[in-house]
Amino acid sequence: TFKRTDHRSQVLHEFARLEFNMVQTIHQRELR
């Protein structure tokens, strides 16, 4: 159970980071 939860949190963290990068890129485009 611990391994599954850890893997799940890791995937969520990775997904959140990708989404954050995408949002930053969009904001940079709007600022220009």
Dist CA 31 CA 29 (whole Å): 5
Ordered by start, the domain boundaries in the chain are 1-32
User: The tokens 């391994």 sit on which residue?
Assistant: 3
Distance CA 5, CA 15 (A): 15
Q: Whole-prediction pTM value?
A: 0.57
pLDDT given at position 3: 76
1-32 tens-digit pLDDT = 667 778 889 999 999 999 999 999 999 998 87
**CA dist list (Å): 2 to 6, 12, 15, 16:** 6, 15, 20, 21
Tokens describing residue 1: 């159970």
